[in-house]
Structure 1
């Protein structure tokens, strides 16, 4: 007899862990697997660790809906479990009249997404509260914050294990064959080929989600989108931070611009930029420093470039290519692809961390367990 589990989640990033935790409260035997040795080794541990407010995304998009819902769920989850986090707030800064008009539009867009707490700050108010900051105006987003993402993922894993679920690392997904009674999933766990039967199969493979989907039998290729790798680099800033809040320029076409963020320990870092790449590569070239200095000095003119050092990079799994406009999260269930018990998640880039608990609820609802 083949060993059977209730659900298999492929990919132990923050979203996969959140889904597994949610399902483990309903199912007796949930398994989450990852090709890496530990959880969250890719996109989930290589980001800004920001809890986003849900300001910019188009109204009614999944990114808008799940970010706003997920933000409050995440703050409550952190509070209930003692996960380090802070509602620092962020300043979205403008330079000149044209950018200030963009701030006005941002207030309207935020309101469409049920984010109604933005506060307009004048140049004089900014000088008093943030003397190192250069801007003619800014929007304060008080519900934006930061989180210790590793501790958050540890808490999700603890919840999974408390509910008799299991995480297995160093385990690569090979294929899944659909039958009338679920899926037969073939895995390579440390060079041992094994097969498990499950009722529910969740593809939360992040950067590898389309490769996973290509190896699910009976899933039509038309349901598998093109995925792009978008690398973002970060530079750390040595010494005491001049800011106590997050500082953001106006958003760019494929990201939120090179912003200033703080981690739970108070370390200041700048990034990410956006660079489309063909292969997974986490290099941070020192040659990027000049671009970072120029971008940062727009809002922090007294930047000491000697204190700015290459830190790390992350790669976002984007559905929009370098010449495309906005693309939403894609969360496919049976009503799209016709395969009962299967959910595919594609293009879960920012605000995936913020949205993770809301995404888990959304997936749970689609499965109708």
Structure 2
């Protein structure tokens, strides 16, 4: 996410410093983080709750991602995604999705077996707009493009504290033990993932009471499965309750992965509606001066590792629009970005 934002701001002619994480497996407190790494799933748009920032930016970002990968020759494979119904109630959920999105296909048990053998279900839904991307190659390309546009990228320090000034910020950066350096900047963008975004926000003077407590937990965990990859497509083994939080997908070399959201979510965000069970994943939140009162500070909250990749390019445009005063995303639904940087 940070590399996408740095690239977009650098292409706009701004001086940018990207503080990137060398070890993505732990946060600053030594706690395990959701694995990034290669490969990364790009889920279908039907898994997102309609009329939310998550749905809007993910749809825009996925389209931009496919174009960017083609231009940069980054490995990207369109696999499609299967949502499985385990009973008639879940099948009714998939039928509702089909009515809302004619691009997806309802599947019988035989149809599901034709896509993926061995799945026990009463039916399913196939969404073609899903796939996998080489996440490491993507981040490297974004960083290189950012640096070619003048951005400075470092993995040798971390943000210790930031203090809003009359204009801009003083930022304390920690490197080796005992080392501390202070730099000045006009704007500060917190574009980290999951609960680390809340941790970083709390280090900005004046922000402690504005960090959303509901986003203080980890967003997802990724596991590499032993043996042959069980599926060729992205597979969600259920569309209600905890099963809808799991995602199985294959890699480019035949390895298999399982990604699990820390909170269960019902497909299409039905988890908190009457007659359904389980909580839903929090929506994206682009927090600017209107919410916390600090000029030049933008926090991106709710960006879990599972959705970051497909939404990153669109969110980077949203950050630029917010800094330029073209948009205030507080409480707003996404609109077509002003200049999606894919060309």
Q: Report the TM-score when normalising by structure 2.
A: 0.79
Contact map agreement 2:43 2:234 (CA 8 A) in 1: no
| Residues 170 and 252 of structure 1, relative CA distance in 2, 3 Å threshold | farther
Deviation at 1:123, TM superposition (A): 1.7
| Residues 275-290 of structure 1 mapped to structure 2, 5 A cutoff | none
- Cα distance in structure 2, aligned partners of 1:47 and 1:93: 25
Higher Cα radius of gyration: 1
Given candidates 121, 139, 143, the residue that maps to 1:135 is 121
Match of 2:237 in 1: 249
Q: Deviations over 1:239-275 (max 9, x none)?
A: 3x45322221224556733332111222223343647
- Cα distance in structure 1, aligned partners of 2:166 and 2:236: 51
Given candidates 358, 363, 366, the residue that maps to 2:314 is 358
- Cα distance in structure 1, aligned partners of 2:165 and 2:39: 41
Q: Which SS does the other structure have where 2:117 is aligned?
A: coil
Q: Does 1:333 align with 2:288?
A: yes
Q: Does 1:272 align with 2:260?
A: yes
Q: Deviations over 1:168-196 (max 9, x none)?
A: 11312121111222111111122421111
Higher percent of residues as strand: 1
When the two structures are aligned, how many residues end up with a matched partner?
301
- Cα distance in structure 2, aligned partners of 1:260 and 1:266: 13
Q: Which structure 1 segments of 5+ residues have no match?
A: 1-14, 277-322
Q: Deviations over 1:106-129 (max 9, x none)?
A: 334xx3xxx541111212223334
Contact map agreement 2:219 2:261 (CA 8 A) in 1: no
Match of 1:178 in 2: 164
| Residues 163-174 of structure 1 mapped to structure 2, 5 A cutoff | 163-174=149-160
- Cα distance in structure 2, aligned partners of 1:67 and 1:38: 26
Contact map agreement 1:48 1:261 (CA 8 A) in 2: no
Q: Does 1:262 align with 2:250?
A: yes
- Cα distance in structure 2, aligned partners of 1:361 and 1:225: 23
Match of 1:78 in 2: 69
Q: Which SS does the other structure have where 1:65 is aligned?
A: helix
| Residues 103 and 82 of structure 1, relative CA distance in 2, 3 Å threshold | same
Deviation at 1:40, TM superposition (A): 8.4
| Residues 165 and 67 of structure 1, relative CA distance in 2, 3 Å threshold | same
- Cα distance in structure 2, aligned partners of 1:25 and 1:184: 24
Q: Which SS does the other structure have where 1:345 is aligned?
A: strand
Contact map agreement 1:233 1:274 (CA 8 A) in 2: no
Deviation at 1:48, TM superposition (A): 6.8
Q: Which SS does the other structure have where 2:150 is aligned?
A: coil
Match of 1:238 in 2: 227
